[in-house]
Structure 1
């Protein structure tokens, strides 16, 4: 594709995928708004849908790549630090497996030990797996996440969740 003096290539697969996702989000938002405009119905759906649509607008320009002759003759840059790469080191793979296992244990045990203790233990385990070793930070951050999570969910969702302490 040519615009002015510049030539561009379009990543059609990426563009089609994000457009499909944006269309599904937009349809879901319209469907939720057609049912009811009450705050209880749209409390989570509308802000997240609008955020997702805004992200779509930021992602679309990345599907267009300029390929002018002078750009092609520049030396290749080093690998983009933001480009997704699969972890290749054994420690990273073990860390990912441990995080997945701890999330699985949270889901399985949440009805047994309670939502509050489960969230606290999962947060502490995830921080420890990711490298945090200071006990005060492990306990304080896990407690803060637990309190915000429990009281936040109770304020937003009228669902009786099983808690042991809170």
Structure 2
């Protein structure tokens, strides 16, 4: 008995994302309606939800025929030579984002943003420390400045 590996070809990620958007739109509309079914409450939410659902369905109708699932050939022996980024880059980036959000109240927006950008650059393969540290520092300072000064949104900061 052999285990068949499947190869997913086509816009699977886009279709799953659209299904997620459609599910969120339905949930948001139903949640708003459960709070208050008054016309004033649903005046903007109802049409926006309907429009987003129509767009999601229209795009899905166009993209679903492109989806393919075929049996993958046996993996060549060179498969072990893939880099960390190629193997685990997306999962590592998701974990970094979750850690960034969870630790934000303790680290502050400035330090958390700096560490998240630096970690993301490492995950994506950047190895020059001067580039990682300088880019992360510049982006953290610009992000905190734009949030607080330009947008007037107070953010929890540790250093600034």
Output the TM-score relative to the length of structure 1: 0.47
Hey, which of these two has a bigger chunk of helix by percent? 2
Output the TM-score relative to the length of structure 2: 0.48
